[in-house]
């Protein structure tokens, strides 16, 4: 990995080595916000991209913008909830040597009190955040292990450090993601493959805006999607977990015992952010 500082913006731009993480990268959820920012950063390193998302319009628009970096960019419009989505992804990538995988799609799609909620809707949260995350990691991680090179970034959340009202399933899935990332990191480091559980806090994404979150409430420390992606690339080799800097203190606090204290504090904070 290589860092240079661009004189005009003063921001650090991180370049990945295509011989280690190329020639192709796959981003599941690569059309907007954090995923699109990852696409630009990876393309700047000279690594080709396959971007996956549902809506073809934003997907094509992002792909077109990313092609300006001079790499090949393919798109795949698929709903990861769909049971056939993994067959579609496997078919679309059978001629690609994938050296970098980013599993970004995974925001909460159904918030409700658990026992009165719709079990089928809860299952879609698990399908996206657990089943697909495992399957896509299995698909691309196996060949990386054989080649003894590559990187895997799995998006997590500080929500995964404490259960929360109306989000018990989502926070549980993010806790799974964190612990899974740790085990995978242990296994893959034996084979020179980097694994990073990139743990974001509140981030200014369209999905969060659609969920009704007020980013401007006092005390809400919302990250910029570009900053989250930059930290993911910069700390790819610093696994198993990297908590996005703005949210490090919160993750450390929420991981503490006694749990009731932390869980009640988290619930109060989320209720205020959601205007409940």
75 makes contact with ligand NAP (CB under 6 A): no
Give the side-chain half-sphere CA count within 13 A for 132. Answer: 31
Residue 75, φ and ψ in degrees, nearest 5 = -125, 150
Contact between 54 and ligand NAP per CB under 6 A: yes
Shorter beta-carbon distance to ligand NAP: residue 104 or 149: 104
106 binds ligand NAP (CB under 6 A): yes
- Which residue from 169, 166, 174, 175 is spatially nearest to 275, judged by alpha carbons? 166
Can you point out the beta strands (E) in 104-217? 151-157, 194-200
Position among 14, 16, 25, 34 found at the interface with ligand NAP (CB under 6 A): 34
**HSE-CB of 246 using CA atoms within 13 angstroms:** 16
Do the strands 241-243 and 194-200 form a parallel or antiparallel pair, or are they unpaired?
parallel
- 258 phi and psi angles, rounded to 5 deg: -70, 145
How far apart CA 109 and CA 92 sit, in angstroms, is: 26
Q: Which CB sits closer to ligand NAP, 18 or 35?
A: 35
Interior CA angle at 25 toward 91 and 149, to 5°? 105
Q: Which is nearer to ligand NAP, 39 or 98 (CB)?
A: 39
Binding piece for ligand NAP, criterion CB under 6 A, among 3-11, 18-26, 52-60, 178-186: 52-60
Site string for ligand NAP, 148-187 (x = CB under 6 A): -------x-x------------------------------
Burial category of 123 from C-beta neighbours within 10 Å (exposed 0-12, middle 13-18, buried 19 and up) = middle
Least CB distance from residue 84 to ligand NAP, whole Å? 12
Report the nearest approach of ligand NAP to the CB of residue 256 (Å): 20
User: Quick check: 107 binds ligand NAP (CB under 6 A)?
Assistant: yes
Does 93 engage in binding with ligand NAP (CB under 6 A)?
A: no
Residues numbered 180-209 forming contacts with ligand NAP, rule: CB under 6 A: 200-203, 205, 207-208
Question: Collapsing DSSP states into helix, strand and coil, what is residue 161?
Answer: helix
Part of the chain binding ligand NAP (CB under 6 A), chosen from 18-26, 31-39, 255-263, 268-276: 31-39
> Is 79 one of the binding residues for ligand NAP (CB under 6 A)?
yes
For residue 205, give every residue at least 6 positions away whose Cβ sits within 8 Å of its Cβ, in sequence order, or none: 32, 33, 34, 107, 225
- Which residue, 188 or 208, has its beta carbon nearer to ligand NAP? 208
Number of residue whose CB is nearest ligand NAP: 29
Rounded to 5 degrees, what are φ and ψ at 218? -60, 135
Q: Which residues bind ligand NAP (CB under 6 A)?
A: 29-35, 52-55, 58, 79-81, 104-107, 128, 155, 157, 200-203, 205, 207-208
């Amino acid at each position: 990995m290589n860092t240079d500082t661009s004189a005009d913006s003063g921001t650090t731009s991180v370049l990945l080595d295509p011989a280690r993480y190329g020639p192709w990268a796959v981003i599941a959820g690569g059309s907007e916000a954090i995923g699109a920012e990852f696409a630009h950063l990876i393309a700047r390193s000279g690594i080709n991209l396959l971007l996956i998302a549902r809506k073809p319009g934003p997907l094509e628009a992002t792909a077109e913008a990313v092609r300006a970096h001079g790499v090949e960019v393919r798109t795949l419009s698929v709903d990861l909830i769909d049971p056939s989505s993994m067959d579609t992804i496997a078919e679309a990538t059978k001629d690609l040597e994938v050296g970098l995988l980013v599993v970004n799609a995974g925001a909460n799609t159904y918030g409700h009190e658990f026992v009165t909620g719709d079990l089928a809707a809860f299952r879609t949260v698990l399908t996206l955040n657990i089943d697909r995350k495992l399957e896509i990691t299995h698909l691309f991680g196996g060949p990386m292990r054989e080649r003894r090179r590559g990187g895997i970034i799995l998006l997590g959340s500080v929500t995964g450090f404490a259960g929360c009202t109306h989000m018990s399933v989502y926070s549980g899935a993010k806790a799974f993601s964190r612990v899974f990332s740790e085990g995978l990191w242990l296994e893959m480091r034996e084979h020179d493959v980097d694994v990073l559980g990139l743990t974001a806090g509140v981030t200014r994404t369209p999905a969060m805006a659609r969920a009704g979150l007020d980013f401007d409430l006092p005390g809400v420390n919302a990250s910029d999607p570009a900053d989250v992606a930059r930290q993911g690339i910069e700390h790819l080799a610093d696994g198993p977990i990297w908590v996005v800097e703005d949210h490090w203190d919160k993750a450390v606090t929420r991981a503490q015992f006694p749990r009731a204290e932390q869980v009640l504090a988290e619930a109060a904070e989320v209720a205020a952010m959601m205007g409940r």
